[in-house]
Chain A
Amino acid sequence: MMISKRRGGLAAASVLAAAALTVASCSSGSTPQSSGAPASSAAAQPVTIRVQTFGGGSNFGYEKAVAKWNAEHKDIQIKHENLTDQFEQQYWPQMIQWLQAGNGAGDVVGIDEGGMGLAKANPNWWVDLKEHGLESRKADFPAWKWENGVATDGKVFGLGTDIGGMSICYRSDLFKKAGLPTERDKVSALWPTWDDFMKVGQQFQSKVKDTKWADGTNTLYQVVLYQEAAKNGNVSYFDQSNKLIVDSNPAVKTAFDFAQKMTQQGLTAKLRNFTDEWAAGTQKGAFATLGCPSWMLGVVSGNAGEGGAGKWDVAAVPGGGGNWGGSWLAVPKQTKHPKEAAMVADYLTQATTQASIFTDFGNMPSNTKAQQDPAVQGAKNEFFNDAPIGEIFAKSASSLQPVFLGVKHAQVKNAIESVIQGMDDGSVPHDKAWQQLVDDAVKAAG
């Protein structure tokens, strides 16, 4: 029975191949004979490549790029699944489970910087992209972005997608209501430092009663943490030897102190980022500013919806640049189509793809060729009142430094964010918050 079935399949395939051959020879016209092999593979069932990502709003910005690929490649179809808003709490634990079990993960999966430490330490999870000729991509990326996609055993497993950069997204319509300047250069001039930022916040809240200054403690905490990490040897929760340094790294304390001041002054809407309430708050004007790495632009425009267009704008971040976030694409070893998956990962990280993602959604390319693309450098974002995002993000992109993140970064980050959030919602007393942050971090690092 097995045999006859297989034979039937073969027969069907050969009929299809023959049909394809005739079609091919008809369409090509002048070249009457092409070799049989490619034609028969083209006629086979199209291979479906599942691309799994995470993130709010437009997340990785793959909507148009996937549609384009699918229209051009009948034999390989991409199925893009954005699994959840939350990386540390949901996406990554689930992904680790799938990778460990050897079943369930997509053919191409997105990994946030916070998961890369663990991903690098587990080369057996991944397909070596060198085997598919992708070592040639090395020249496309800044050294650190490339190196971070190389596992401990030298296997190339991750191709860079985007990088963070930093800005502040603000509601210009609400700024106007508060009598503040609305033009982005003047807005940027309002807050050279974070203290100025809080002062303007007080001013704003005294005028606009229903809206808080910032979304919550977490988003701005991250912004400050990454800025400070750059000043403290580019490390945050772990040092280069994967030792927990939460209590000794001044960057963490500075960011914590800032978050505490924000909540003590009542400047936050007490919303945790990447939750439904936070997304609803973006739409309904619960807050006027938000820390915005480049990829956050797509999250904001996605959450705010059509009605938010033109109300949001982008200004410079107080206290200079920083690099929060950025992701990689990897091909899990369990995929049945490593070759096709590698092709898709290659395509999604190409300069042209990344450039169009940036102009459409705002995720800043990590691909240096894309960064230098005049279309990227001159890009404006329609949703954000035609903000010159190319100027804001692309100009500084080449100078961005990576922050080292340990193997257990995702767990520690979640534990710390929970304390920062707890401080904001009142469940952690201010005088005990720092101690609890350190204790919970130690516990999460296990």
Chain B
Amino acid sequence: MSLDTLPRATRSAHRRDRPPGRRWRSRLDVKAMPYALVSPYFILFAAFGLFPLAFTLYYSLYDYDLAGTIEWAGLDNYTALLGDEDFWRAVVNTIGMFVLATVPQMILALFLANALNKRFRFRLAIRMSVLMPLVTSVVAVAVVFTQLFARDWGLVNWILSWFGVDALNWRAERIPSWIAIATMVDWRWTGYNAIIFLAGMQTIPRDLYEAAAIDGASRRRQFWQITLPMLRPTLIFVVLNSTIGGLTLFSEPTTFYNGNVDGGSQGQFQTVAMFIVKQGFREFDYGYAAAAAWLLFLLILIGAAINFLFVRRIGGTK
């Protein structure tokens, strides 16, 4: 209020000879404020990302069981895990289901996106409908698919019987169980990935296609030589995302076996994530579960690296 009554000149003079404390504060404002403003993310990340990671690492070095006894175990949990058949079976299951789910999913999503990237009627409605499976609950999806893939009165076995195929026991045989679960995953995620691909495709400049068309390139050629290489950053993002999702697969296979983390009578479709939950919260071997969680983390890093190197070469001319 009082400042307003002062003439302009005096006001600026005032500003110049501010006390040093205030200048220091203003510098703090400039230097620290940006950090303070972005800090919520980092604080949350530290609390929910970094801390659990470190905590898990810490307990993976201990023998920590239900009774609450905590004893130093060094790398015992890790060596035991590396010799544990059940763990390796879970790793093979996880990778198997990941490959079975992701490869068709990427290809389907790519072609779906390509199809959606054209002009046609009700374009928005159809593009939206592709996302529908994503908004349905995983459990609902799994319950429906569990019935479709039932041994005795399931739709899939009924259709297979038209072709003279004997009823498959989808929960007892390893590969059929993987296929059933991969189908569930694909049903849910193909549309989502297609929409991301579509967004990527729309950033590709039109004139590239026009130039190619003038040069006489066919539609198919345009797809392989323009769309795919230009889509590479999107592709990398989608593949990394699917890798993380695929290797931590849990809900679908669990619901497929009555909400049981056993994953079949002999772990036919038990994933590493289910193995961790079983060790931690069924056998109450927390240290062992923590070690398995770290190995899963490493597995994801390796998987992501391999896929990254692979995708970087896709459609590449160099």
A interface list, Cβ under 8 A from B: 84-86, 89-90, 93-94, 96-97, 100, 270, 272, 275-277, 280-281, 284, 286, 411, 414, 418-419, 421-422, 424-428, 444, 446
Residues of chain B with a CB closer than 8 A to A96's CB: 66, 284
Q: How far is the CA of A326 from the CA of B177 in the complex (A)?
A: 35
In the complex the two chains form, is B283's CB within 8 Å of A446's CB? Answer: yes
- Contact between chains at A276 and B284 (CB < 8 Å): no
Given contacts A93-B281, A270-B169, A422-B266, 20 further A-B contacts (CB under 8 A): A84-B259, A86-B260, A89-B282, A90-B259, A93-B284, A96-B66, A96-B284, A277-B152, A411-B282, A419-B265, A422-B172, A425-B169, A425-B171, A425-B172, A426-B169, A427-B172, A427-B174, A427-B264, A427-B265, A446-B283
Annotate B266-287 by CB proximity to A: 1 below 8 A, 0 otherwise. 1010000000000001111100
From B154, which residue of chain A is reached at the shortest CB distance?
A: A277
Q: How far is the CA of A427 from the CA of B259 in the complex (A)?
A: 20
Verify if B150 is at the interface (C-beta below 8 Å from A). yes
Q: Which of B151, B173, B264, B282 contacts A93 (CB 8 A)?
A: B282
Known: A96-B284, A411-B283. A418 touches B172 (CB 8 A): no
**Complex contact A421–B283 (CB within 8 A):** no
Interface class of chain B by DSSP: loop
Tell me, in angstroms, the Cα distance from A319 to B10 when the chains sit together: 109
Q: In the complex, are the beta carbons of A272 and B281 less than 8 A apart? A: no
| Number of residue pairs A-B, CB distance < 8 angstroms | 68
For B186, what are the chain A residues with a Cβ–Cβ distance below 8 Å? none
Give chain B nearest CB distance to A91 CB in angstroms: 11
B252 lies within 8 A of chain A by Cβ: no
B281 A277 Cβ-Cβ under 8 A: no
Give bound CA distance, A94 to B283, whole Å: 11
Residues of B within 8 A of A277 (CB): 150-152
* CB neighbours of A421 from chain B (8 A): 265
Q: Residue on B with the closest CB to A270? A: B169
A277-B152, A425-B169, A425-B171 known; A90-B265 Cβ under 8 A: no
8 smallest A-B Cβ distances: which pairs? A425-B172, A422-B265, A421-B265, A422-B266, A427-B266, A93-B282, A275-B258, A418-B265
* B146: Cβ under 8 A from any A Cβ: yes
A414 to B283, CA, bound (A): 11
Q: In the bound complex, how far is the Cα of B264 from the Cα of A424, in angstroms? A: 12
Q: Choose one: A97, A281, A426; the contact of B172 (CB below 8 Å).
A: A426
27 of the cross-chain contacts (CB-CB < 8 Å) are A89-B261, A89-B262, A90-B260, A93-B284, A94-B281, A97-B281, A100-B66, A100-B68, A270-B169, A272-B265, A275-B258, A276-B146, A277-B150, A277-B152, A280-B152, A280-B153, A284-B152, A419-B266, A422-B172, A422-B265, A425-B169, A425-B171, A425-B265, A427-B172, A427-B265, A444-B283, A446-B283
* Chain B hits for A446, CB < 8 A: 283, 285
Write out the residue numbers on chain A whose beta carbons fall within 8 Å of the beta carbon of B66. Answer: 96, 100
Min CB–CB distance A206 → chain B (angstroms): 21
User: Whole-angstrom distance from the CB of A245 to the nearest CB of chain B?
Assistant: 20
| A122 and chain B: residue at smallest CB distance | B67
Question: Could you tell me the distance between the alpha carbons of A419 and B265 in the complex, rounded to whole angstroms?
Answer: 7
Nearest CB of chain A from residue B289's CB, rounded to whole Å? 13
- Taking CB atoms, residues of chain A closer than 8 Å to B266 are 418-419, 422, 427-428
Q: Which residues of A contact B284 (CB under 8 A)?
A: 93, 96
Q: Which residues 50-96 of B have a CB within 8 angstroms of A?
A: 66, 68
Nearest chain A CB to B92 CB, angstrom units: 15
Q: What residue in chain A is nearest B171 (Cβ atoms)?
A: A425
* Residue of B146, B171, B260, B261 contacting most chain A CB atoms (<10 Å): B260
A437 to chain B, nearest CB (A): 12
Which residues of chain B have C-beta atoms less than 8 A from A428's C-beta? 265-266
Q: For residue B89, give the distance in angstroms from its CB to the closest CB of chain A.
A: 11
Interface centre among B169, B173, B258, B268 (most CB of A within 10 A): B258
The interface residues of chain A lying within 8 Å CB-to-CB of B264 are: 427
Expressed in whole angstroms, the minimum distance between the Cβ of B96 and any Cβ of chain A is 16
